[in-house]
Amino acid sequence: MSKLKKMPEFKTEAEEREFWETHDSSDYLDWSQAKSASFPKLKPSTKTISLRLPETLLNRIKIEANKRDMPYQSLIKAWLADEVNENRRA
């Protein structure tokens, strides 16, 4: 492999982002020496929201969640994710 270029120092994350948008990292890093990384406990960021639902709807959701032996909030998240993914495909 040819000689690698010296990695520049960046003052800001924005400056670094701009640099990598126009440069090839293989000029600066020997990717043949890279090792695979795994982050099994890394969870996506979540944000708490308040959602008002009619009590009858919430009760029906809780019944469905109970049938599946899962928390009702998890069921709501799964349904929302499925619907959003389905709409993105359409």
CATH topology of domain 42-90: Arc Repressor Mutant (1.10.1220)
3-40 tens-digit pLDDT: 899 999 999 999 999 999 999 999 999 998 899 998 88
Name the residue among 4, 48, 54 with its Cα closest to residue 26: 4
Q: Is the dihedral of CA 63, 69, 72, 75 positive or negative?
A: negative
pTM: 0.51
Closest to 16 in 3D by CA, of 28, 4, 33: 28
Average per-residue pLDDT in the chain?
A: 92
Residue boundaries of the structural domains of the chain: 1-35, 42-90
Q: Is the pLDDT at 82 greater than 60, yes or no? A: yes
